[in-house]
Amino acid sequence: MVIKVFLASSSGSTAIKKKQQDVVAFLEALKVDYTPLDIACNEENRMWMRKNVPEENKPANGIPLPPQIFNEESYCGDYDTFFNAKEDNSVYSFLGLPPPPGSKEVPMTERNGEAHAEKEQAQAADGQEEDGGDADDEEDEVAEDEEEAVEETDEAHAEEDEEQEEEDLQSEVTVHR
């Protein structure tokens, strides 16, 4: 499955640039493979994106803006739905991907509860010894990666907000002169 992220390499909008950077940075932090597709330099990409965003997800003017995210041919969503999925710790579900072991999206019973206990009991009954250290380390590493990705994007949002406030103040000063 290939995640496609439609971006505009030469957008004049700082808001669009920041949204694109946020999506790309978060996917990279989670080590999700994706393909960036430029709609500014490639007319085919722009037409494909516009054609394949469902009507109910298009803005009032009918022209969807980047970033738009697809899993192969299946529409996942735009920046706002991506952001909501990120806040809900459901990015993998949003992308239509199975969550990795240790992900916050994996149900707790599957990680630590009944399913885990049943697995250990079955292995003990088979006479197998489980060395859970490696699996636990991998789960911890994935969880840490997710937390770092959330923290990085939260910091980026805080910086964006500060920059926007600074721009707004400069605009107000210019208008009042």
68 confidence band (pLDDT: 50, 70, 90): very high
What's the pLDDT at 96?
Answer: 96
Q: Which residues contact 137 (CB under 8 A, 6 or more apart)?
A: none
Does the pTM surpass 0.95? The reply is no
Query: What is the per-residue pLDDT across 105-163, written as a single tens digit (0 to 9) for each?
Result: 854 444 444 544 454 555 555 554 444 455 556 556 655 666 666 666 666 565 666 66
The two three-digit tokens of residue 64, written as one number = 């969807």
The two three-digit tokens of residue 30, written as one number = 């989670």
Q: Which residues contact 26 (CB under 8 A, 6 or more apart)?
A: 82, 86, 91, 149, 152, 153
What's the pLDDT at 176?
Answer: 47
CA nearest neighbour of 78 among 93, 90, 94: 94
Is the separation of the CB atoms in 78 and 16 below 8 Å?
Answer: no
Rg (CA), the chain: 21
Q: What is the mean pLDDT of residues 6-21?
A: 95
Angle between helix axes 79-87 and 14-29 (nearest 10 degrees) is 40
CB atoms within 10 A of CB 124: 11
